[in-house]
């Protein structure tokens, strides 16, 4: 993951609160205000380097595999993030699609970057809604992600980073 820190498309997130939206019209990720439409809130409460990437457009853009939207990492945690803006009735289908995206993305990173064994790997499926935590991550999904992919699995639109290592 150290080699990614030299990538010119990285965005360093320091101590602050960020609101992010995937701007599909302009093919980019935008950082917006809390009062604007947003998909993901990142609350950084540490003083370490937190690196954010638009994974789909800047890291895996040439990959033929499925890919999650964003990547956020520091020296202890890696977050693979997939954003979905769908009605609750469509979430089952989107969970299946996200499972494939997370699988392909983690395999891509394991084969192309040196992920430290001490890293805590996380998959965040982000359903746009009025709550920060969706709370619908089933035990079966959490078990699949942990046992098969080696990832902690969350369904939420909020990430808080507090580690001080």
Model confidence pLDDT, tens digit, residues 29-44: 899 999 988 888 999 9
Instruction: Give the single-character DSSP code of 88.
Output: G
Q: What is the pTM of this model?
A: 0.88
Asked if 143 and 98 touch (Cβ cutoff 8 Å), the reply is no
At 131 the pLDDT is 58
Q: What is the mean pLDDT of the chain?
A: 86
pLDDT band at 129 (very low <50, low <70, confident <90, very high): low
At 165 the pLDDT is 42
Higher per-residue confidence, 7 vs 27: 7
Asked if 44 and 17 touch (Cβ cutoff 8 Å), the reply is yes
Q: What's the whole-number mean pLDDT along residues 130-155?
A: 77
Cβ atoms < 10 Å from Cβ of 115? 15
Q: What's the whole-number mean pLDDT along residues 34-59?
A: 90
In Å, how far are 11, 25, 77, 94, 100 from 74, measured between CA atoms? Answer: 12, 30, 6, 28, 24
At 135 the pLDDT is 55
pLDDT band at 110 (very low <50, low <70, confident <90, very high): very high
In Å, how far are 8, 72, 118 from 58, measured between CA atoms? Answer: 10, 13, 25
Higher per-residue confidence, 9 vs 158: 9
Q: What share of the chain has pLDDT > 70, as a percent?
A: 93
Q: What's the whole-number mean pLDDT along residues 43-69?
A: 91
């Amino acid at each position: 993951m150290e080699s990614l820190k030299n990538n010119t498309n990285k965005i360093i997130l320091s101590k602050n609160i960020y609101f992010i939206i995937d701007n599909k019209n302009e093919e980019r990720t935008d950082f917006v205000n809390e009062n604007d439409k947003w998909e993901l809130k990142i609350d950084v409460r540490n003083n370490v380097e937190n690196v954010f990437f638009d994974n789909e457009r800047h890291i895996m853009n040439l990959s033929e595999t499925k890919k999650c939207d964003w990547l956020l990492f520091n020296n202890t945690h890696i977050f693979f993030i997939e954003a979905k803006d769908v009605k609750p009735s469509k979430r089952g289908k989107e969970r299946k699609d996200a499972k494939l995206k997370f699988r392909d993305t983690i395999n891509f990173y394991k084969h192309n970057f040196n992920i430290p064994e001490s890293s805590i790997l996380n998959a965040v499926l982000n359903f746009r809604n009025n709550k920060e935590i969706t709370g619908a991550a089933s035990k079966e999904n959490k078990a699949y992600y942990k046992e098969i992919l080696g990832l902690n699995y969350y369904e939420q639109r909020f990430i808080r980073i507090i580690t001080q290592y």
